[in-house]
Amino acid sequence: MSSAHTKTEHGHTDHNYLNHGSGIWSWMTTLDHKRIGLMYFATVATLFLIGGFFALGIRLHLAKFGAEPLLSPDTYNKFMTFHGAIMVFMVIIPGIPAFLGNFVLPIQLGAKDVAFPRLNLASYYIFIAGALIAASSMIFNQVDTGWTFYTPYSTAKTSNGVILLVLGAFTMGFSSILTGLNFIVTTHKLRAPGMTMDRIPLMIWALYSTSIIQILATPILAITLLLIGAEKTLGVGIFDPDLGGDPVLFQHFFWFYSHPAVYIMILPAMGVISELITAFSKKTIFGYRAIAYSSVAIAAVSFLVWGHHMFVSGQSTIAGIVFSIITMFVGVPTAIKLFNWISTMYRGTVTFEAPMLFALGFMFLFTIGGLTGVFLASTGMDVHFHDTYFVVAHFHYVMVGGTLMALMGGIFYWFPKMFGKMTSDLGGRISWVLIFTGFNVTFFPQFVLGAMGMPRRYFDYLPEYTNLNQISTVGSWLIGLGFLVGLITIIHGILKGEKASDNPWGAKTLEWQTSSPPPHENFTTTPTVTAGPYDFR
Amino acid sequence: MSWSSLIPATSFMPIQATEIAKEVDLLYAFLIIASLVSFVILIGGMTWFLIKFKRTSVDQKSAYITHNNFAEFLWSFIPLVIMMGIFYWGMVIFEKLRTPPEDIAAEIHVTAEQWAWTYRYANGKEFYSSANDPMIVPAGKATKLILTSKDVIHSFYVPAFRTKQDAVPGKLTQLWFEPKQPGEYIVFCTEYCGTKHSGMMIKIKAIPPEEYAAWYHAEKKGADTPADLGKTLFAQKACASCHSIDGSRIVGPTMKGLFGSNRKFADGSQAKADENYLRESILVSSAKIVEGYPPAMPVFQGQLSDEDVANLIEYIKSIK
């Protein structure tokens, strides 16, 4: 963030966290969780633009509008790799927890800061270091493995840039673990007087469950990535069959992290949605306990389903069947959440400002993503769909349609608290219409492409897939335009937005009971909690 | 099935070239209908509430409803039952896809590499092909592929057969299919394998069984079948000093009737002797020691090529 934001619009206002210190140095050395959250925002937004550039490049190439291919096969494979690696490791995983979580969690708990503020700042710099290391692989020895780094391709058949990229992901993993640790301790130790565990907002339950996954699963990724490095530099022979290793072992290790990581991406999004639905329905959330415990249940089951990525890898039939049935169990807590959110609207008084539109968009897209997940969890069905565009469509609906919709909704929702100003509601709505429409135009045809048999990660394809690919590409421009409008709306809000009241949405959680923007230590007097978080009586 | 033809969605699927493809598509049609119904319930319900409970005045009050145990039980239990049904249905199909029938009409060793497939028939016919030579198989009869890879992981995917299997270096995997009609079917590589991943296509050409028999026996390439080559190697490596071929017991287990039999191991576990078991036992015999025999066999890892191993396996299969 630039120091310009620390100056106040009208020459003087109350003392708040934005003007608590001035100058770039006061931001870079800040221990304030709110400022750290905003620094993550700026970083993640920048990385998102880079990842989005690669996405548009991929789609433009696949539209085949010119006589000559836009990209060479090798360039295409690199675009595909960087798009995936940046979006997964640097945007969607840290997006909600590190940015929105950091900003919101302590205020919602009525705490002055996270439990370990210095560690929080260190986590940010570790993330930056990891991102820089990973980004350097874009310049030196570019990588073409895909973000999954499957062996032995990654260890034996491609450039040494893989080492930089996995080292970057390894480093960012520490940031993820430390943030998770910080959130867990904060949730347990720093709740305001009267805030029992069944009075914490559902956003916190979601972040708490996410943190457990981050702490338990990320070390597995770290070790796996180190083994890739060791395999490549020392030839230790864990994954290389020529040295007696097993290439499929890598997939077990990788998905043992990366499947839970899917829930690191989606659980915080569900937390955001719980906040938005209740605030814009002006009604107590339906089934608080069910939503809270279903987050924990999803976190727990997420560790037992990794093998569903490997139904055709050569693992035994019985393993496939066991992973299939456990995967089906994930559908239940997910369905519980959807039903609860919808029931929350029943006999509420619903309004449709931009954050609510994003929440509704989330429900729409996530429902499609979730239902198509059942197709893939079914073994007999998955054999046909595995590694086709059906999978691409499915996980974009879940991860992008879900997480990015929630992230956008969360930004517009907490924006008044962050900056003490309002964004243009019209700007937010236009952004939503473009992203939502563009998203469906881009990814729905990909379900059909997958059913027709088009494999993923293809530089070129059969002529019968052309039309659907072109429709998909047009949709991707709409998404790009939608995010551009969103960005302009946000920047306009920061610079010229109207002054926000302390509680513009009339929400009940603690962050709305302090001033906008909050003072340096969140509350001038420590709040005392006497009721649940959504008490709209 | 009549109800599945009500929706056009299955028409997006490739042609149904096998019986299993029909079964997969039936499940697919069911899943689409079930998804549409669920979607209408969820999103339709949401939309209805949004319209009905839209805020109309500033001081409007919402109802105070915290939970409803009966409703919550229902919407947890019903999805669970439906998903268990889908799981079971998928499992039945999966087992059919994964279990080759007893009577296999053609058995082909398929080796993947960047960016081509090689296929070798039991009589020594061999094709190195990226796109020109189709894989010839008999129509109306079962073909079994034994897959491996020379370099990175590839995956053998036949959309028209709704089946797919990774080809993993250092390991043998298998895939089977029975095309109902003569015709040409496309094969994709679906595990990302580098620069020309999307160009790694071949065709499977199913021809009538009589034509297949004629083709199979005509213009035999080379004098020796893989089994013949395996027999020579068996002699060269002095395998016969420990393994009889007539069923008598010497140092190690006999080769007679070994393939497809059930093996009991010293650690109490057991397994069926398939290609992968033979491969592992030849290369690293200590991996599974047959009950009642000493762990005496030397390690051949690094001394035999993948092709040598495939030839030995074919020879062992022929000792019945």
pLDDT for res B252: 87
**Tens-place pLDDT, residues A119-157:** 999 999 999 999 999 999 888 888 999 999 998 999 888
DSSP designation for B9: G
Q: Which of B12, B35, B192 sits opposite A451 (nearest CB)?
A: B12
Query: Which secondary structure element, helix H or strand E, spans residue A169, and what is its range?
Result: helix A161-189
**Chain centroid to CA A107:** 21
pLDDT for res A409: 97
* Token pair in block for residue A129: 């270091």
Per-residue pLDDT of chain B (320 residues; tens, 9 = 90+): 445 555 555 568 999 999 999 999 999 999 999 999 999 999 999 999 999 999 988 888 889 999 899 999 999 999 999 999 999 999 999 999 999 999 999 999 999 999 999 999 988 888 887 667 899 999 999 999 999 999 999 999 999 999 999 999 989 999 999 999 999 999 999 999 999 999 999 999 999 999 999 999 886 655 678 888 888 888 888 888 889 888 888 888 888 888 888 888 988 888 888 888 888 888 888 888 888 888 888 888 878 888 888 888 888 888 88
Q: Nearest residue of B to residue A378 by CA position?
A: B90
Find where tokens 């002054």 sit. A499
Mean per-residue pLDDT, A427-451: 97
CA distance A331 to A334: 5
What number of other Cβ atoms are within 10 A of residue B190's Cβ?
26
Percent of chain A exceeding pLDDT 70 equals: 98
Q: How many residues does chain B have?
A: 320
Query: Which chain B residues are Cβ-neighbours of A280 within 8 angstroms?
Result: none
Contact assignment for B42 to A342 by CB distance below 8 Å: yes
pLDDT at A1 over 70: no
Choice among A2-11, A53-62, A154-163, B298-307 with the minimum mean pLDDT: A2-11
**Tens-place pLDDT, residues B254-297:** 888 888 888 889 888 888 888 888 888 888 888 888 888 888 88
Give how far Cα A67 sits from Cα of A61, A63, A70, B145, Å. Answer: 11, 11, 9, 38
Q: Which of A157, A331, A378 sits opposite B90 (nearest CB)?
A: A378
Q: Nearest residue of A to residue B170 by CA position?
A: A241
pLDDT for res B1: 45
CB-based burial of residue A288 (10 Å sphere; 0-12 exposed, 13-18 middle, 19+ buried)?
buried
**Chain centroid to CA A356:** 18
Nearest to A383 by CA among B15, B96, B106, B88: B96
**Tens-place pLDDT, residues A243-291:** 888 999 999 999 999 999 989 999 999 999 999 999 999 999 999 999 9
Find where tokens 């960005």 sit. A487
pLDDT at A32 over 50: yes
Mean pLDDT score of chain A, rounded to an integer? 93
**Tens-place pLDDT, residues A65-101:** 888 899 999 999 999 999 999 999 999 999 999 999 9
pLDDT at A201 over 60: yes
Would you say A288 and A532 are in contact if contact means Cβ atoms under 8 Å apart? yes
Q: Which of A157-166, A494-503, B7-16 has the highest mean pLDDT?
A: A494-503
Written in H, E and C, the secondary structure of A55-95 is: HHHHHHHHHCCCCCCCCCHHHHHHHHHHHHHHHHHHHHHHH
pLDDT for res A6: 38
CA distance A269 to A287: 18
C-alpha torsion angle, residues A368, A317, A322, B171 (rounded to 10): -90
Min Cα separation A461/chain B (Å): 7
pLDDT at A7 over 60: no
pLDDT for res A436: 97
pLDDT for res A12: 44
Residues of chain A numbered 508-537 and touching chain B (CB < 8 Å):
536-537
Residue-wise DSSP of B221-251: -SS--HHHHHHHHHHHTTGGGT--SSS--SS
Contact assignment for B94 to A346 by CB distance below 8 Å: no
pLDDT at A160 over 90: no
Nearest to A169 by CA among A237, A223, A242, A240: A223
pLDDT for res A537: 82
Query: Which chain B residues are Cβ-neighbours of A159 within 8 angstroms?
Result: none
